[in-house]
Amino acid sequence: MRGKVIQEPGYVIHRRPWRETSLQVDVFTLNYGRVDLIARGASTSKGPLKAQLQPFQPLLLDWVGRGDLKTLTQADVRQAPVLGQSQALFSGFYLNELLQRILPAADPYPLLFAAYLDAMAELAAAAELEPVLRRFERSLALALGYDFAWDLATDSGAQVQSGRFYGYHPQQGIIERPGADVRVKKLCGDALLALAANDYSNIEARRSAKRVMRALVDYLLQGRPLHSRQLFIQPRAVK
């Protein structure tokens, strides 16, 4: 059978109706990256795939086809921790939308897939959410070639210094002398050094990480909306 894939680890990151009785499902997989699948009959009450094709549920997927849209033939559910709290669920939807809107189709990102597994486990364990989101955003940046060092100013080549202020540009990283076109400025050197040490305990470090990663995500989106952000517009929001 042409283009047959069997038992591929993956997660549903988005799904929508397709024709009268089927679903079009975006999945993020270990070896094939983001893949669009048609689950025939999955939107009917008796569809065997309907219950399996849920977000945050680890799956082993079978599909066939060589075009942009493949046909899902089987989905086996694996055990996983449950995202129980609303903020953890919102965070999971945010990560899924990042993958669905930003990742190119059919390119494998095994390290990013591993980072996604780690993020899901941390969210299920009711970990502090902001560090989980920021670390995954950094993994996404690395996968797409936009990684940077928190403690290095790329325009001067100098190490970030305590007591000084810096800027951030998505194509350059941390910069010592931000120009007029740089959106993110006045980043405290102490906060950047804390982030370089993976220390999110300081409120200023969290604020700086959020400003930087939001600018990067907006750059990668190229004007496309990110609907999951609206979920966090409430008291004690983290995103």
Residues 176, 202 within the same domain: yes
- The predicted model gives 72-90 an average pLDDT of 87
Q: Where among 24, 55, 77 does a domain terminate?
A: 77
Our count of domains for the chain comes to 2
**Per-residue b/e over 139-166, b at no fewer than 16 CB within 10 Å?**
bbbebbebebebbbbebeeeebeeeebb
Residues 135, 173 within the same domain: yes
Please state, for a pLDDT cut of 70, what percent of the chain lies above it: 96
- Residue 27 and residue 100 in contact, taking contact as beta carbons nearer than 8 Å: no
Q: Does residue 30 register a pLDDT over 50?
A: yes
| Total Cβ atoms within 10 A of residue 33 | 21
CATH code of residue 54: 2.40.50.140
Q: What is the pLDDT of residues 179-204, one digit of tens each?
A: 988 999 999 999 999 999 999 999 99
Write out the residue range of the structural domain in which residue 197 sits: 86-232
Which long-range contacts does 218-221 make (Cβ < 8 Å, 24+ apart)?
219/170, 219/171, 220/102, 220/140, 220/144, 220/146, 220/170, 221/101, 221/102
pLDDT, residue 233, reads 67
Q: Is position 237 within any domain? A: no
Q: What is the pLDDT of residues 118-174, one digit of tens each?
A: 999 999 987 789 999 999 999 999 999 999 999 999 999 999 999 999 999 999 999
Q: Does residue 236 register a pLDDT over 50?
A: no
Residues 151, 220 within the same domain: yes
**pTM for the complete prediction?**
0.91
The residue among 233 and 147 whose pLDDT is bigger is 147
Q: Does residue 238 register a pLDDT over 60?
A: no
pLDDT, residue 148, reads 97
pLDDT, residue 166, reads 98
Burial class (CB in 10 A: 0-12, 13-18, 19+), 47: middle
pLDDT, residue 234, reads 56
Q: Does residue 67 register a pLDDT over 90?
A: no
Q: Does residue 49 register a pLDDT over 90?
A: no
d(CA 111, CA 116): 9
CATH code of residue 187: 1.20.1440.120
Q: Does residue 56 register a pLDDT over 80?
A: yes
Q: Which of 11-25, 41-55, 140-154, 222-236 has the lowest mean pLDDT?
A: 222-236
The residue among 225 and 216 whose pLDDT is bigger is 216
Q: What is the mean pLDDT of the chain?
A: 92
In three-state form (DSSP H/G/I as H, E/B as E, the rest C), the secondary structure along the chain is: CCCCEEEEEEEEEEEEEECCCEEEEEEEECCCEEEEEEECCCCCCCCCCCCCCCECCCEEEEEECCCCEEEEEEEEECCCCCCCCHHHHHHHHHHHHHHHHHCCECCCCHHHHHHHHHHHHHHHCCCCHHHHHHHHHHHHHHHCCCCCCCCECCCCCCECCCCCEEEEECCCEEECCCCCCCCEEEEEHHHHHHHHCCCCCCHHHHHHHHHHHHHHHHHHHCCCCCHHHHHHCCCCCCC
Q: Does residue 1 register a pLDDT over 50?
A: no
pLDDT, residue 2, reads 60
- The predicted model gives 104-118 an average pLDDT of 96
Q: Is position 238 within any domain? A: no
Residues 139, 28 within the same domain: no
